[in-house]
Amino acid sequence: MQNPELKERRKSLRVRCSAGEPRANLLGVGISAISMTDAIYYTDRLLQSDMQAYVCVTGVHGVMEAQTDERFRSILNASFLTTPDGMPTVWVGHWQGHDKMARVSGPEYMLEMCQLSVERGYTNYLYGGKPGVAEELRDSLLARFPDLKIVGTYTPPFGPLDKDQELYLERQLARVQPDILWCGISTPKQERFMSQYCGKLPVKLMVGVGAAFDVHSGHSKDAPDWVKNAGMHWFLRMLREPHRLTGRYLKNNPRFLWLMCLQLIGLRRYLIMTPARTTARPQTDRPVPVLGQRAG
């Protein structure tokens, strides 16, 4: 039998697909043409409403994953925000006329939102990481933000949740009523999780931040700002994790450059499509108006 508290929580919230901001068109993936200030403003506004939504943090890896996975592309395009995680996405946005677009990476966005949570009293829940990482992340964030409200953690299994695990998570969330669920299970799993459970779980906002769990728990080191601003964060990550990342970057990055060149000079056309939905599940596709978009 469904938990009555969970049922009432779901009734009080409605799913929202977009913040209404313009999006840059990267090979048919709509990247929100925003800065960090914009991201915090839109997120704060959502959290003060009765809406539910999810936020994706997406760079070249996510854009290229979406080229061979139409369902994943729809998930990115149906988000409340899909932030520009990396300078290549920002540079393309500038080319398309979004001059104020700036990098909004997962680790930085998480810290800004933690500060906002302290100011507003928003509650946070940590979902993801290897065993023990979510608890280490909680301790690290509380050391930095002593008044931050972290109401729970959960380390999910490697694969999809089974019925018992899903029920356990629902009950935990219904009990603690978090405003924000931080999802750190890597791309594209975290985006699929958020899309599947947005509107089902009693939480206002889910945010997929991937590597932020390891960065802020101390398991990996973030890149210096000058490396990020030069668009070379991928290269530093490849040097640090060559066995895991070399194949990905050597395959994705040249292909991204080639396809983006074809799009920008008009030889390839992409239309951003997003599911129109009134519930958590997408039903029909409709085009999204995007400033600077090459459609067709």
- What b/e readout covers 228-245, taking b as 16+ CB neighbours within 10 angstroms? beebebbeebbeeeeeeb
pLDDT digit string, tens, across residues 89-143: 999 999 999 999 999 999 999 999 999 999 999 999 999 999 999 999 999 999 9
pLDDT confidence of residue 6: 47
Residue 25 pairs in a beta bridge with 30
Contacts of residue 69, Cβ cutoff 8 Å, sequence gap at least 6 = 188
The C-alpha angle 184, 107, 196, rounded to 5 degrees, equals 30
pLDDT digit string, tens, across residues 197-253: 999 999 999 999 988 999 999 988 888 999 999 999 988 889 888 998 899 999 999
Give me the phi and psi of 153, to 5 degrees please. Answer: -140, 155
pLDDT confidence of residue 5: 52
How many residues would you count in the chain? Answer: 296
Indicate the pLDDT class of residue 16, thresholds 50, 70 and 90: low
The DSSP 8-state label assigned to residue 18 in this structure reads -
In whole angstroms, what is the distance from residue 14 CA to residue 103 CA?
29
pLDDT confidence of residue 220: 87
pLDDT digit string, tens, across residues 176-196: 999 999 999 989 999 999 999
Chain Cα centroid distance, residue 45: 17
Element (H, E) at 4: helix 4-11
pLDDT confidence of residue 168: 94
Chain Cα centroid distance, residue 140: 21
pTM value surpassing 0.85: yes
In this structure, the strands spanning 51-58 and 205-208 are parallel
pLDDT digit string, tens, across residues 45-79: 999 999 999 999 999 999 999 999 999 999 999 99
Helix (H, G, I), strand (E, B) or coil at 234: helix
For the record, the structure tokens of 156 come out as 């999910």
Give me the phi and psi of 163, to 5 degrees please. Answer: -60, -40
